[in-house]
Amino acid sequence: MSASFDRLSQLCAKRYSVDASIIKPEGDVFETLKIDSFQAAELMSELEMEFDVEIPDYELQDIKTFGALSGAIDARL
């Protein structure tokens, strides 16, 4: 996995008080973090600022897993 996946999992673990070990590339972001649509929007803001990128919503529409999410971030770095 990419370096951004490690940063992503650390940020999510800290932000949502979960063990980083449960965050796996194939894991579903919503189910793993138990977040709703409002928290997902906040997470987007945090990720964009952490990685200093902008990720348009339409690039995230089909993204379900942490691996795909880190891939979307990598594509913008």
Partner 1 sequence: MIRWTLRDGTYELELGRDPCNEIGTTVLGELERFLDQVDTENASALIIHSTVRGGFSAGADLRELYNGFMDVPQKEQEPRLREFIDRIHSVMDRLDMLPLTTIGVVHGICFGGGFELALTCDILIAEKSARFAFPELRLGIVPGFGGIPRLRRDVSNAVVRDLLLTGRSINAKKAVTCGLVSQMVPVGAGLRAARNTAEQANKFDPESRRSCKAFMKPLPTEQLEEEKELFVRLALRPVLQAALKKFVESDDPRPYLP
| The binder of partner 1 chosen from 32, 60, 71, 74 (CB under 8 A) | 60
- Residues in region 6-35 near partner 1 by CB under 8 A: 30
As given in the structure block, the two tokens for residue 38 are 């409002």
The HSE-up count of residue 39 (CA atoms within 13 Å, CB side) is 11
| The binder of partner 1 chosen from 3, 14, 42, 75 (CB under 8 A) | 42
Asked if 41 touches partner 1 (CB under 8 A), the answer is: yes
- Given the rule CB under 8 A, which residues bind partner 1? 30, 36-38, 40-42, 44-46, 48-49, 54, 56-58, 60-61
